[in-house]
Amino acid sequence: MSDQSAEWLNYHHLLYFWTAAREGGITRASEVLRLSQPTLSAQIRALEGSLGERLFEKAGRGVALTEAGKVVFRYADEIFGLGRELRDALAGREVGRRPLLAVGISDALPKLMVQKLLAPVLELPEAPRLLCREDATDRLLASLAAHDVDVVLTDRPLDSQARLKAFSHLLAESGVAVFAPPALARRLKGPFPECLQGAPWLLPTQGAALRRGLDQWMATHGLHAKIVGEFDDSALLKSFGQAGAGVFAAPEATAREVARQYGVRRLGPAEGVKERIYAINVERRLRNPAVQALREAAKVWAFA
CATH, residue 80: 1.10.10.10
Query: Is position 286 within any domain?
Result: no
Q: Please provide the size of the chain in residues.
A: 304
Q: Which of 90, 118, 138 is the last residue of a domain?
A: 90
Q: What is the pLDDT of residues 108-153, one digit of tens each?
A: 899 988 888 888 888 777 777 888 989 888 889 888 887 788 889 9
The pLDDT score that the predictor gives to residue 4 is 43
Query: Element (H or E) spanning 135, and its range?
Result: strand 129-135
pLDDT at 285 over 70: no
Query: Is position 130 within any domain?
Result: no
- Residue 268: what are its φ and ψ, rounded to 5°? 165, 175
- Residue 212: what are its φ and ψ, rounded to 5°? -60, -40
Domains of the chain: total: 2
Query: Is position 233 within any domain?
Result: yes
Q: What is the arithmetic mean of pLDDT over 22-26?
A: 85
- Using pLDDT thresholds of 50, 70 and 90, give the confidence band for residue 98: low
Q: Which of 66, 90, 114 is the last residue of a domain?
A: 90
Distance CA 141, CA 139 (A): 5
Question: What CATH number should be reported for the domain holding residue 210?
Answer: 3.40.190.10
- Amino acid (1-letter code) at residue 183: A
Q: Which of 90, 107, 125 is the last residue of a domain?
A: 90
Q: What is the pLDDT of residues 149-168, one digit of tens each?
A: 888 999 989 876 666 777 88
Query: Is position 132 within any domain?
Result: no
Q: What is the arithmetic mean of pLDDT over 231-239?
A: 93
Query: Is position 240 within any domain?
Result: yes
Q: For residues 117 and 298, is the Cβ–Cβ distance under 8 A?
A: yes
Query: Is position 138 within any domain?
Result: no
Q: What is the pLDDT of residues 172-201, one digit of tens each?
A: 889 999 999 999 999 999 999 999 999 999
pTM over 0.85: no
Query: Is position 15 within any domain?
Result: yes
Query: Is position 215 within any domain?
Result: yes
Q: Which domain holds residue 15?
A: 2-90
Judged by DSSP in three states, 131 sits in strand
Q: For residues 44 and 13, is the Cβ–Cβ distance under 8 A?
A: yes
